[in-house]
Amino acid sequence: MPDGTERAYEAGATSMDIAKSISEGLARKVLAANINGEVWDATRPILNDASLKLLTWDDTEAKSTFWHSSAHLMAEAVQAVFPHAKFWVGPPIEKGFYYDLDLEDTKMSEEDLTLLEKKMNEFAKQNNPFIRKSVPKAEAIQYFTEKGDEYKLDLLSNLVDGEISLYTQGSFTDLCRGPHIPSTGAIKAIKLTSIAGAYWKGDEKNKQLTRVYGIAFPNQKELDEYLLMLEEAKKRDHRKLGKELSIFTMDDEVGQGLPLWLPNGTVIIEELEKLAKETENAAGYKRVVTPHIAKESVYLTSGHLPYYADSMFPPMELDGTKYYLKPMNCPHHHKIFDAEPKSYKDLPYRIAEYGTCYRYEQSGELFGLMRVRCLHMNDAHIYCSKEQFAAEFRAVNEMYIKYFKIFGIDKYVMRLSLHDPNKLGQKYVNEPLLWQETESMVREVLIESKIPYIEVQDEAAFYGPKIDVQIWSAIGREFTLATNQVDFNSGNKFKLSYTNQHNSTDVPLIIHRAPLGTHERFIGFLLEHYAGKFPAWIAPLQVKILPISDKFMDYSNTILQTLKKADIRVEIDDRSEKIGKKIRDTEILKVPYMLVIGEKEMNEGMVSIRRQGKGDLGAKDLNQFVSELVEEIKLRKGE
């Protein structure tokens, strides 16, 4: 068991049997089980000694299993409403599930979704068990041949005899490796969210199938909360806000996944870089600049070729030498470390840049600023001795915490990704002792720092353990912000060394870190997090001056120059519009401060202040307003 205790049962006992032996209350919550690191049905017999973790809704693997079973429940409903339907695949996704269907010439409508939801609820209440049956390949082929389902036959062609299983619930049987929840009765709240087209196998040369997306929960309250969050997320969609607020644009002629930053977006980029430079300078980093391309040989040394080639742009050839657009900054930084001899007195050696990288994401995976092909990374590498590692790694994590406070990120967790000892020499560098040592070092730092973290097996980088930083926006959506990685391999690969205190040669440990991630992903997150209402320090336009009429333009221009001298980003709305429209239009643009200027303000040297989201704040002396705003910007206050 996870707490280290051992329990004895007859061979053939299921995880559900074990849960019931502990308590009936626990058994009612169990959705699946982790057996020796693999997720199983809770009703599947255990025949040998095993490490067991019972999985409930609170576990990520249980949610995934729940949503996979919900996809099968939806397929049963589709089969009832569209008897001629054929089924391709129905996986769980990050939130919910989908199923790809061939409905032949029938087109599914929004009304059909309502009917399918009704059927799903009906079948869920029947509390039908999910029954697993291992079958020979020939039997599976015969079954789906009789059904005339070419999609399942295609899947079977790639499966090995002896590893094939069917799952049945109610009247629906599917080819599936599982796992599934014990029965449909656990699915209490269902919403089918959208219909889309999807090419079979993702190939546009193939037939287009109907993809139905859905979400399900074990209670109605969670579904209601999710749907509210979904509505709020639509309002905060970074692509929608990015267009409305003139932050960025995409252009087909420039290319997919290659954002063009408009002046407003560029202001945000410059403010983020300013924050990073100030923070990193105070922490002892030195800034560097590296080229956007490099020769093939450097990526062969780093190991990115051939294993990462699918995510790199094709090479350019010049004078018989291949050059690649850089997918990451690491090799360039290693070369900078190696450019001059180093001794222990030079360590820790910290270098940073906002480096531009290029990755060939598949076109179907591109998504606004979140998945792009050109990215600007808040990158840095720390070269240190083993004795310096804990302090350096702790300092990096503290930098993350500082940024979280600035941006009002209240919920976060460090996801510690570990290696799989069974995959050494394949997926991971074959250094078992170094893996154990570095993973323990990282874990100790996290524990000592009292930083919330979870451990995940088999997700480390090939050269060492890493931390993926998970953050939640103001509406509770989860994002992967950045990574903090330990590298005990690249030093040897690049022949990096320093002279230690004993006048002999050592290889440095390397920490890869990017606390602000990339401009693209982080600004996409901030657009949602703030709903476009940026704090004054990072807002593209900080103040809009709204004269009530043209006769107050001279005083408005005086205010403009005063604010500009204080390095405040400011504009005048000089349109011949009523003040109410000027205010409404400025609210839409989400400018933090509006200064309404009329006769009283002009005569008394005052400004009437309106704050985004707070309305009228009353009148203030101009110099007092400027002084207070400069202080707010300097301290990077959240409001």
Please list, in sequence order, all residues whose beta carbon lies within 8 angstroms of the beta carbon of residue 145, skipping any fewer than 6 positions away. 153
Please list, in sequence order, all residues whose beta carbon lies within 8 angstroms of the beta carbon of residue 428, skipping any fewer than 6 positions away. 419, 420, 435, 460, 462
Q: 183-212 pLDDT, tens per residue?
A: 999 999 999 999 999 889 888 789 999 999
Whole-angstrom distance, CA of residue 165 vs CA of residue 411: 40
CATH class for domain 248-529?
A: alpha beta
pLDDT at 362: 85
Residue 268 near residue 534 (C-beta atoms within 8 A): yes
Residue 584 near residue 590 (C-beta atoms within 8 A): no
Q: Which CATH superfamily is domain 543-634 in?
A: Anticodon-binding domain (3.40.50.800)
pLDDT at 116: 97
Q: Among 512, 568, 521, which residue's Cα sits nearest to residue 376?
A: 521
Q: What is the pTM of this model?
A: 0.81
CATH topology of domain 61-230: Threonyl-tRNA Synthetase; Chain A, domain 2 (3.30.980)
Mean pLDDT over 526-554 rounds to 96
pLDDT at 460: 87
Q: What angle do CA 581, 587, 593 make, to 5 degrees?
A: 110
CATH topology of domain 15-56: Ubiquitin-like (UB roll) (3.10.20)
Handedness of CA 439, 444, 447, 449 (dihedral sign): negative
pLDDT tier at 491 (50, 70, 90 boundaries)? very high
pLDDT at 488: 87
Q: 268-285 pLDDT, tens per residue?
A: 999 999 999 999 999 999
pLDDT tier at 365 (50, 70, 90 boundaries)? confident
Residue 74 near residue 97 (C-beta atoms within 8 A): yes
pLDDT at 501: 95
pLDDT at 133: 95
In eight-state DSSP terms, residue 183 is: B
Among 283-287, 303-307, 336-340, 529-533, the range scoring the smallest mean pLDDT is 303-307
Please list, in sequence order, all residues whose beta carbon lies within 8 angstroms of the beta carbon of residue 499, skipping any fewer than 6 positions away. 341, 342, 343, 344, 505, 506
pLDDT at 257: 95
- Average pLDDT in the chain: 94
Q: 208-235 pLDDT, tens per residue?
A: 999 999 999 999 999 999 999 889 988 9
Whole-angstrom distance, CA of residue 74 vs CA of residue 78: 6
**Percent of the chain beyond pLDDT 90?**
83
Which helix (DSSP H) or strand (DSSP E) does residue 523 occupy?
helix 519-529
Q: Among 571, 541, 575, which residue's Cα sits nearest to residue 262?
A: 541
Whole-angstrom distance, CA of residue 337 vs CA of residue 550: 61
Q: 451-481 pLDDT, tens per residue?
A: 899 998 888 888 889 898 999 998 888 888 8
In eight-state DSSP terms, residue 184 is: G
pLDDT at 381: 97
Q: Has residue 260 got a pLDDT over 90?
A: yes
What residues does each domain of the chain span? 15-56, 61-230, 248-529, 543-634
Partners of 35 in the β-ladder:
38, 52
Q: 560-598 pLDDT, tens per residue?
A: 999 999 999 999 999 999 999 999 999 999 999 999 999
In eight-state DSSP terms, residue 349 is: E
Q: Which residues of 253-275 are buried (b: 16+ CB within 10 A; e: fewer)?
A: eeeebebebbebbebbbebbeeb
Q: 307-356 pLDDT, tens per residue?
A: 788 899 999 999 999 999 999 999 999 999 999 999 999 999 999 999 99
Q: 45-60 pLDDT, tens per residue?
A: 999 999 999 999 999 9
pLDDT tier at 68 (50, 70, 90 boundaries)? very high
Are the folds of 248-529 and 543-634 the same? no
The torsion angles phi and psi of 627, rounded to 5 degrees, stand at -60, -45
Q: Has residue 364 got a pLDDT over 80?
A: no
Tokens read off for 280: 């990193």
What distances in angstroms separate CA 123 from CA 172, 184, 192, one per listed residue?
11, 7, 15
Whole-angstrom distance, CA of residue 244 vs CA of residue 129: 49
Whole-angstrom distance, CA of residue 497 vs CA of residue 154: 53
pLDDT at 164: 95
Q: 379-422 pLDDT, tens per residue?
A: 999 999 999 999 999 999 899 999 999 999 999 999 999 998 88
Which helix (DSSP H) or strand (DSSP E) does residue 38 occupy?
strand 38-40
pLDDT at 481: 86
pLDDT at 237: 94
Mean pLDDT over 590-618 rounds to 95
pLDDT at 478: 87
Mean pLDDT over 15-34 rounds to 95
Residue 523 near residue 269 (C-beta atoms within 8 A): yes
pLDDT tier at 13 (50, 70, 90 boundaries)? very high
pLDDT tier at 638 (50, 70, 90 boundaries)? confident
